[in-house]
Every structure is written in structure tokens, then in C-alpha cells.
Amino acid sequence: MAGDTDTSREAVERLASQIEVQGAKRYPREGAEFMAGAMLRALLTRAEAAEAECLEQARLNGMGAERELALRTRVEALEAERIAQRERFIAAEREDTLPTPEPDHD
């Protein structure tokens, strides 16, 4: 993608320069073509900044997705452990082998 951006920048620079040169030959006092060339360069700079921001946002979203997956995996593991403990408790209760709590001697 960076290669495409470099190629785009070079193409815009060539176009802006051509507009400026041709405009200066036709209308030496007007300056409108110089403004058009400057506007093209400014637009390209803004487009590159927007692309960089989008890439950064995509990177951050990817990091968030990885973290979410890790947390979901942990929740699933804890849920499985809770179910296993509950089943052991129910089995022990059926067999009447639950440990009896010790009385407090306060």
C-alpha cells in the first residue's frame, strides 16, 4: 500500500507542477493554476493523513479483538470450572458426604 501512496504522490506532484507551469505560461499574472497545484498537494497530504489514521484505527481494533477473544476464552474456562464444581457438590450432597462446617468458637 505504501508503494501505491508513493506512486500517487509522485503523480499528483507531476500533475500539480504541469498545471503550475502551463498556467504560468498562459496567465502569468493570474496565479490560479499555482493555487490549483497547491490545492492538489494539500488534498493529497490530507488523504495520506486520513489513510494513516484508518490504518492506526484498524491496528487498534485488531488489538481489541485479540483481547476480547482472550477474555472470552477465560470466561468460558471459568464457566466450565463452575459447572464442574457444581456437579461435584451435587454428587457429594447426594452421597451425603458434604463436609460439615466447624462451629465458630468466638
User: Domain for residue 101, yes or no?
Assistant: no
- The predicted structure's pLDDT at residue 103: 75
Per the domain annotation, does 102 fall within a domain? no
Owning domain of residue 58: 2-94
**Calpha distance 90→100 (Å, rounded):** 15
Q: pLDDT tier at 51 (50, 70, 90 boundaries)?
A: very high
Cell of 32: 490560479
**How many domains would you assign to the chain?**
1
pLDDT score of 1 more than 50: no
8: closest CA among 36, 46, 59, 34?
46
Of 98, 78, 2, give the one whose Cα is nearest residue 10. 2
pTM over the 0.85 mark: no
Whole-number pLDDT of residue 32: 57
Does 100 fall in a domain? no
- Asked if residue 34 belongs to a domain, the reply is yes
pLDDT in tens, 80-98: 999 999 999 888 888 876 6
Quick check: is 50 in a domain?
yes
In a domain, 58, yes or no: yes
Whether 89 maps to a domain, the answer reads yes
50-76 mean pLDDT: 93
